[in-house]
Amino acid sequence: MIIRILMFLIIPIFLHAQNADEVIKNLQDKFATIKNLKSNFSQTIYSTQSIQPINFEGKFYYKKENSFSIAMPDRDIISDGVSIWNYDRQQKKVVISTSDSDNTTFSLNDIIYLYPEKCDLSLLKTQEINFIVKAVPNDVALTFKEAYLTISKNFILNKIEIIDFNNIKYTFQLFDIKINTDISDTMFNFVPSVEVEVIDLR
């Protein structure tokens, strides 16, 4: 599962005493100026039913509005904001669904704009290099119990932890974030070759 997450904004402002609403507002303001971003990522799933956590690593690309590409060794998940292609390299099979029907994906717009409006926010602590904001939903439309956003002092959201109602924790972290670079539109569309099995659920 690739969680709804994500995330990753830079804003150069002077540092002063902040509260959770101010930190989120700064992220939102900067996000409005971001056309695209790319980074390495690591995702870890912690379950009470499993001794060892499940870990994924790969490359993450994002382009407005809601287009993304996730590249892992055995799988690609790609969206143009309307359709999602979930491609299994080993099985040579791609499953196509619509963005609004696929609950394994995420929307940066929702994370940045919608979720804060539907959550009670608190600034847990200010570390030397990070803010940590806790978000607790006050709207039943959100399907998690609580989330924790780790935001650097230059306002890069570099980590999010989500705990669902089964107490499963999903951690998604970005490294080496680069914004507004030259990313081809072909990154956000998948054209299967003839040997790929296509399952179209749209």
pLDDT tens-digit readout, 1-31: 444 444 333 333 334 457 899 999 998 888 8
Contacts of residue 196, Cβ cutoff 8 Å, sequence gap at least 6: 87, 92, 93, 94
**Average pLDDT of span 75-79:** 94
In a domain, 140, yes or no: yes
> Domain with 55 in it: what CATH number?
2.50.20.10
What are φ and ψ of residue 184, in 5° steps?
A: -70, 145
Residue-level pLDDT at 153: 83
In a domain, 36, yes or no: yes
How many other CB atoms are found less than 10 A from the CB of residue 60?
26
Domain count, the chain: 1
Residue-level pLDDT at 103: 56
SS3 category, 197: strand
**Average pLDDT of span 54-73:** 92
In a domain, 5, yes or no: no
Bridge partners of residue 36, in order along the sequence: 63
Query: What stretches of 113-182 show up as alpha helix (H) in DSSP?
Result: 115-117
Residue-level pLDDT at 74: 93
Q: Which of 97-106, 110-119, 181-190 has the highest mean pLDDT?
A: 181-190
**pTM as predicted:** 0.81
**Got the DSSP string for 54-94?**
EEEEEEEEEETTTEEEEE-SSEEEEE-SSEEEEEETTTTEE
pLDDT tens-digit readout, 143-163: 899 999 988 888 878 888 999
**Got the DSSP string for 34-60?**
--EEEEEEEEEEE-TT-SSPEEEEEEE
In a domain, 8, yes or no: no
Check: CB of residue 61 under 8 Å from CB of residue 37.
yes
- Tokens describing residue 102: 């696929």
| 185: containing domain | 20-197
In a domain, 9, yes or no: no
How many other CB atoms are found less than 10 A from the CB of residue 117?
10
End-to-end alpha carbon distance in the chain: 19
Eight-state DSSP code of residue 185: G
In a domain, 13, yes or no: no
In a domain, 11, yes or no: no
Identify which has the larger pLDDT, 155 or 37: 37
Task: Categorize the per-residue pLDDT at 101 as very low, low, confident or very high, splitting at 50, 70 and 90.
Answer: low
In a domain, 93, yes or no: yes
Which of 100-104, 107-111, 184-188 is the least confident region? 100-104
Whether pLDDT at 131 is above 70: yes
